[in-house]
Amino acid sequence: MRPITISQGILLLATVSSTATIDREEVVRQFNPRRNATSEESPMQVGNGNFAFGADITGLQSVLPWNILSTWCWHNSSLPQTPGQTSPADYTGVQWWTHDRLVTYAQPNPEEDEISQWLIRNPHRVNMGRIGLLFDGSGITEADLADTSQYLDMWNGILHSNFSIEGAAVSVQTVVDPRSDTVAVQLQSELVGQGRLSVFFDYPYMTGENKFETFVGLWNATSNHATSLHTFRQRAEIKHDLDATTYYTTIVWEEPAAISRISNSSHKYILEPADSNVFTFTATYTPNPLRVSNSSSTFSAVADSSTTWWNDYWTAGAFVDLTAVENPPESLALQGRILLSQYLLAVNGASANPPQESGLTNNGWYGKFHLEMYLWHGVHWAVWNRWKCLRRSLDTLYQRFLPTSFERAADQGYTGARWGKMSDPAGRSAPGEINSLLIWQQPHPLYFAELEYQASLDGTLEEEPNEILDKWDDILTATADFMSSYAFFNSSTDVYDLGPPMYPVSENTPPNSTMNAIFESAYWRFGLSIASAWKSRQDKPIPSEWTTVLNNLAPLPVQDGTYVVCEGVQDPWSTDSLTEDHPGAVGIYGLLPPSDDIPLDMAILDATLAAIDSTWNFTASFGWDFPMLAMNAARMGRPQEAVDWLLDPGFQFDDVGMPIGGARVPTPYFPASAGLLWAVGMLAGGWYSDEGSTLEDRWPSGWQVHVEDFGKSL
Ligand SMILES: *[C@@H]1O[C@H](CO)[C@@H](O)[C@H](O)[C@H]1NC(C)=O
Ligand SMILES: *[C@@H]1O[C@H](CO)[C@@H](O)[C@H](O)[C@H]1NC(C)=O
Ligand SMILES: *[C@@H]1O[C@H](CO)[C@@H](O)[C@H](O)[C@H]1NC(C)=O
Ligand SMILES: *[C@@H]1O[C@H](CO)[C@@H](O)[C@H](O)[C@H]1NC(C)=O
Ligand SMILES: *[C@@H]1O[C@H](CO)[C@@H](O)[C@H](O)[C@H]1NC(C)=O
Ligand SMILES: *[C@@H]1O[C@H](CO)[C@@H](O)[C@H](O)[C@H]1NC(C)=O
Ligand SMILES: *[C@@H]1O[C@H](CO)[C@@H](O)[C@H](O)[C@H]1NC(C)=O
Ligand SMILES: *[C@@H]1O[C@H](CO)[C@@H](O)[C@H](O)[C@H]1NC(C)=O
Ligand SMILES: *[C@@H]1O[C@H](CO)[C@@H](O)[C@H](O)[C@H]1NC(C)=O
């Protein structure tokens, strides 16, 4: 009953608040990013969520080797040679006491250091190459360029770059195909017709030496890998072999040109146009040779597909317009970061795998993704009614990782499926102390499933609610089975404890003495509550273990009238290490919805927020902390605070919208962008339990806000 009443409320609200349809194109175009110099901090990007091309001021990678990254191309370094450590099967992990029994955790084992390190660093994601311009056969530097001017046309997904060399104008357009991993380029200049401007393709070697790599790969290890060229009229294929990894670049051009290898001691190829002032080519990256029938795409065909896809992206789904002249000036800053985030998340964070925190811009954590961050990367798509982008990964991810997650739980003596953490596409979780002891990724499938279920009830999704219930049932069962089996019955207190050992969201307490952490205690309740409802909705029995654990979990940890990071913690509000990092306590009301199964005391919550406010080191906060604080403020009915958090000086985006990592993590850190959109989505679309709240209630007074087509948050 309840959701139906609420969705009627939404419809009414939407009609009231969008009496005039927003001219979305007009709003988007105002915020197209512009540059007149290469940035060494971040590229301009074009991409399709699965593949992205990072460009310097030339629209290519002439001056700086920004990356060409995909979610599918990975490389392994050779395995260690030390006897007993020559294969992943030789790695055994370490055993820690866990409630009077030894449990094996995937952590680096000092006795097996080489294979432990290998498993952390491999596979790592491949930078598939570099495409740039040569002038009279030589490389270009920024100093060779004048009259530089670049803008990204977000409405069509096309990057426009103008500059001049020796007084002659050059114009470059760069665009990526939404349906294949193809970058298409148009060059326009009399220098092209004169044969003075040519294009190079180059290929780096990969190592797992750097956990974070802004410019990915080694360009001078040419003897470690091989490339070869095959040409066929207006088409060439470059095969790149790096150890066991092989992939192909298929280059197709329209005007007369010739391609050749520059020298056998490098992996650099030169494509030299002749006769025409306009030259266009496409480069498609694939794991297997591309059939001829698939390699006929032209620049104009790719530009058309891009235009169609991006127009649809901006037109369908939700939109918020904050540009009314009555609004305070900071509304434009917020609008800008919203639109740039929308663009960059579609480029960097919408493939069959969860995004890496640095997306497809550079390699963070060797390019591996983190399952606890998937909630941040994923939920905003649902709230903004862009389910297609979310479902590229959500439809298959948990099914795909289910077998290894069953194994992980079974090896540790638990039932159900224990989801991994820092993963590669095969689902192996990299060894690590935090990696193996973090637990807040566990309830995520329940969060996503509930969002889908609610969206099927209000008709946002095409599927019937029963189909959604059916689709998720085995995953949710496996998830909740682990959650109840993980909770330990403490016979001296007669309650179920979470941990030790465990790491909470804040990763700043000693794992062997951390138990009943605040966010996890609330999230376990949320999860088991949804899992139980799932069974009831299907008229299936609720496993009694779930009910027993849900009803007997240790109480949320409280000290001196405040919710604290975990049970028994000493001096939580006056210890520096405990008053920085992610403030998990604000997540229990905001990120998590209120629920009968999460017994919150609002006076304690208020006191907790006051304690955070007065003690927290926000200088060390980063990424999703600010959206999480905003979501809490929104649910507390404090819209001005919510917006203030989203505009906090510690929550920065650069000139092209890249989320700045800040004191703790490198740039870009996309959970910040994704969190921003989720929080804005809450303010714009509301949430299921806020019956009767209006748009005006959720935004600061005096703001004129126009919204269209938002879904609700839980
Ligand atoms: C380049 O852009 C910066 C910042 O937008 C501006 O201050 C500067 O005047 C521009 N330079 C040129 C040569 O256009
Ligand atoms: C890397 O090695 C692992 C373990 O042997 C294997 O499962 C995976 O397929 C390899 N990946 C690549 C890209 O070679
Ligand atoms: C936790 O306890 C295990 C023994 O069960 C020990 O090996 C490990 O070093 C301890 N970890 C920390 C961080 O103290
Ligand atoms: C590049 O130059 C063309 C022709 O003068 C102009 O139409 C276009 O707007 C310019 N683009 C940029 C990015 O400045
Ligand atoms: C290769 O390049 C890296 C930097 O990318 C540098 O540190 C290293 O010394 C170079 N090696 C050789 C053999 O030139
Ligand atoms: C590169 O090697 C191939 C065969 O190994 C040879 O035919 C070709 O002449 C060499 N090219 C250059 C530029 O040295
Ligand atoms: C190849 O072409 C077919 C038919 O046009 C298309 O369905 C498929 O997606 C293409 N594959 C790639 C890699 O572009
Ligand atoms: C039971 O709970 C108490 C109080 O939280 C704790 O000190 C004790 O270590 C727990 N017992 C076990 C066996 O974990
Ligand atoms: C707060 O965090 C910043 C950034 O990490 C750090 O430099 C500073 O020392 C911290 N302040 C305190 C009181 O811990």
CA of 286 to the centre of ligand 6 (A): 26
Task: Give whole-number Cα distances, 321 to 311, 517, 680, 681, in Å.
Answer: 17, 39, 11, 12
pLDDT bucket at 11, cuts 50 / 70 / 90: very low
CA of 123 to the centre of ligand 2 (A): 6
Q: Distance from the CA of 215 to the center of ligand 5, in angstroms?
A: 13
Is pLDDT at 480 greater than 90 in this prediction? yes
The 10 Å Cβ neighbour count of residue 468 is 22
Could you tell me if 104 and 179 lie in one domain?
no
For residue 576, the ligand 9 atom closest to its alpha carbon is: 14
Tokens of 704: 């004129």
User: Residue 199 region, left (φ>0) first, then alpha (ψ -120 to 50), else beta?
Assistant: beta
pLDDT range class, residue 9, cuts 50, 70, 90: very low
Going from the C-alpha of 498 to that of each of 163, 393, 511, 561, 578, the distances in angstroms are 60, 29, 11, 21, 19
689 part of a folded domain: no
Atom of ligand 7 nearest to the CA of 182: 14
* Measured distance CA(227)–CA(211) in Å, rounded: 26
Distance, CA 540 to ligand 2 centroid (Å)? Answer: 40
- Interval 350-407: pLDDT, tens: 999 999 999 999 999 999 999 999 999 999 999 999 999 999 999 999 999 999 999 9
Nearest ligand to the C-alpha of residue 286?
7
- Mean pLDDT, residues 56-79: 98
Residue 220 lies in a domain: yes
167, with CB counted inside 10 A (0-12, 13-18, 19+), is exposed
Answer for the pair 645, 630: CB distance below 8 angstroms, yes or no. Answer: yes
The verdict on 155 and 93 lying in the same domain is no
Token match 């609720």: residue?
A: 542
pLDDT reading at 4 higher than 50? no
3-state secondary structure 416-429: CCCCCCEECCCCCE
Ligand 5 pocket check: which of 64, 205, 209, 218 to mutate, most ligand atoms within 8 Å of Cβ? 218
Distances (CA, A) of 349 to 7, 358, 365, 635: 29, 9, 16, 27
Task: State the first-to-last Cα distance of the chain, in angstroms, to the nearest integer.
Answer: 16
Residue 96's domain spans which residues?
88-120
- Atom of ligand 5 lying closest to residue 218 CA: 5
Question: Which atom number of ligand 4 is nearest to the Cα of residue 171?
Answer: 1
pLDDT in tens, 219-246: 999 999 999 999 998 999 999 999 999 9
Q: Report pLDDT for 5.
A: 32
Flag whether 287 is in a domain: yes
Domain presence at residue 59: yes
Domain shared by 136 and 285, yes or no: yes
| DSSP string of 370-406, one letter each residue | EGGGHHHHHHHHHHTT-HHHHHHHHTTHHHHHHHHHH
Does residue 663 have its Cβ closer than 6 Å to ligand 9?
yes
Task: Please tell me if the CB atom of residue 168 comes closer than 6 angstroms to any atom of ligand 9.
Answer: no
Among candidates 171, 200, 177, which has minimal Cα distance to 278? 171
Centre of ligand 5 to C-alpha 218, Å, is 7
Task: Starting from the CA of residue 263, give the closest ligand.
Answer: 6
* pLDDT higher than threshold 70 for residue 12: no
Q: Which residue has the tokens 């087509």?
A: 709
Among the bound ligands, the one closest to the CA of 100: 8
Q: Which atom from ligand 3 is nearest to the alpha carbon of 94? A: 7
Query: Residue 557, preceding bond cis, omega within 30 degrees?
Result: no
Q: What is the pLDDT of residues 559-577, one digit of tens each?
A: 999 999 999 999 999 999 9
Are 42 and 157 within one domain? yes
Distance from the CA of 226 to the center of ligand 6, in angstroms? 13
**Burial of residue 515, with CB atoms counted within 10 A of its CB: 0-12 exposed, 13-18 middle, 19 or more buried:** buried
Is residue 228 in contact with ligand 9, taking CB distance under 6 Å? no
Q: What whole-number percentage of the chain has pLDDT above 70?
A: 97
Report how far ligand 9's centroid is from the alpha carbon of 617 (Å): 6
- Ligand 6 atom closest to 264 (CA): 1
647 lines ligand 9 (CB under 6 A): no
Residues 165 and 73 in one domain: yes
% the chain with pLDDT above 90: 95
**Got the DSSP string for 464-492?**
-HHHHHHHHHHHHHHHHHHHHHHSEEETT
Q: In the predicted model, is pLDDT for residue 585 greater than 60?
A: yes
pLDDT at 331 over 80: yes
Q: Answer yes or no: do 73 and 51 share one domain.
A: yes
Ligand 6 geometric centre to CA of 134 (Å): 22
Q: Could you tell me if the CB of 58 is within 6 A of ligand 4?
A: no
Judge residue 433's burial from the number of C-beta atoms within 10 Å of its C-beta, 0-12 exposed, 13-18 middle, 19 or more buried. middle
Residue having the nearest C-alpha atom to atom 7 of ligand 3? 96
Same domain? 97 vs 163: no
Q: Where are the beta strands (DSSP E) in 166-294?
A: 168-176, 182-188, 197-202, 226-232, 235-242, 245-253, 257-261, 269-273, 278-286
Q: Which of 248, 285, 294 to mutate to test the pocket of ligand 7 (most atoms within 8 A of CB)?
A: 294
State if residue 293 touches ligand 6 by the CB under 6 angstroms criterion.
no
Ligand 2 near 245 CB (within 6 A): yes
Helices vs. strands in the chain: H and E counts, helices first: 19, 28
Q: Would 398 be classed as within a structural domain?
A: no
| Distance in Å, CA 80 to ligand 3 centroid | 27
Instruction: Show which of 294, 315, 336 is a domain's final residue.
Output: 315
Over residues 116-124, the mean pLDDT reads 98
How far, in Å, CA of 262 to CA of 340, rounded?
A: 39
Residues 209 and 171 in one domain: yes
CA–CA distance, 490 with 497 (Å, rounded to integer): 7
The CA distance from 193 to 276, in Å, is 4
| Position 674 in a domain | no
Of the candidates 311, 455, 230, 348, the one whose C-alpha atom is nearest the C-alpha of residue 670 is 348
pLDDT of residue 292: 76
Ligand 3 atom nearest to CA at 97: 5
Mean pLDDT, the chain, rounded, equals 95
Cα–ligand 2 centroid distance for 211 (angstroms)? 18
620 ligand 9 Cβ < 6 A:
yes
83 lies in some domain: no
Question: Where a domain ends, among 277, 292, 315?
Answer: 315
Ligand 2 within 6 A of 426 CB?
yes
pLDDT tens for residues 516-539?
999 999 999 999 999 999 999 999
* Per-residue pLDDT tens over the stretch 90-110: 999 999 999 999 999 999 999
Looking at residue 398, its amino acid is Y
**Phi then psi dihedrals of residue 231, to 5 deg:** -115, 150
Ligand 9 centroid–CA 662 distance in Å is 12
Q: Which atom of ligand 8 is nearest to the CA of 568?
A: 5
Choosing from 315, 338, 370, the residue where a domain stops is 315
Express each pLDDT in 410-455 by its tens digit.
999 999 999 999 999 999 999 999 999 999 999 999 999 999 999 9
- Which pLDDT score is estimated for 295? 67
State whether 70 and 108 are in the same domain: no
Q: Are residues 104 and 237 in the same domain?
A: no
- The pLDDT tens digits of the residues spanning 266-301 come to 999 999 999 899 999 999 999 999 987 766 789 999
User: Is the CB of residue 358 less than 8 Å from the CB of residue 366?
Assistant: no
Residue whose CA is at the smallest distance from ligand 2 atom 4 = 88
- Distance (Å) from CA 306 to ligand 7 centroid: 16
Mean pLDDT of 52-75: 98
CB atoms within 10 A of CB 266: 15
User: Which ligand lies nearest the alpha carbon of 228?
Assistant: 6
Q: Please check whether residue 153 lies inside any domain of the structure.
A: yes
Kindly give the number of the ligand 4 atom that is closest to the alpha carbon of 150. Answer: 13
Q: Kind of pairing, strands 422-423 and 369-370?
A: antiparallel
Confidence of residue 19 (pLDDT cuts 50, 70, 90): low
Query: Ligand 7: distance of its center to the CA of 295 in Å?
Result: 9
Under 8 Å between Cβ of 416 and 482: yes
Query: Are 571 and 578 in contact, with CB atoms under 8 Å apart?
Result: yes
DSSP 3-state of 446: helix
- Distance from residue 637's CA to the centre of ligand 8 (Å): 38
Regarding whether 109 and 157 lie in a shared domain, the answer is no
What single-letter DSSP state applies at residue 668?
P
- Does 144 lie in the same domain as 289? yes
Token look-up 């040419």 returns: 222
Alpha-carbon gap, residue 708 to 714, rounded angstroms: 18
User: Which residue's CA is minimally distant from atom 11 of ligand 5?
Assistant: 220
The tokens for 214 are 């802004």
Number of domains in the chain: 2
Q: Please provide the DSSP assignment of 82-139 as one string.
A: STT-SSGGG---EEEEETTEEEEE----GGGHHHHHHHHH-SEEEE--EEEEEETTEE
DSSP 328-359: -THHHHHHHHHHHHHHHHHHHS-SSSPPPTTT
Q: What is the pLDDT of residues 137-190, one digit of tens each?
A: 999 999 999 999 999 999 999 999 999 999 999 999 999 999 999 999 999 999
Distance 616 CA to ligand 9 centre (A): 10
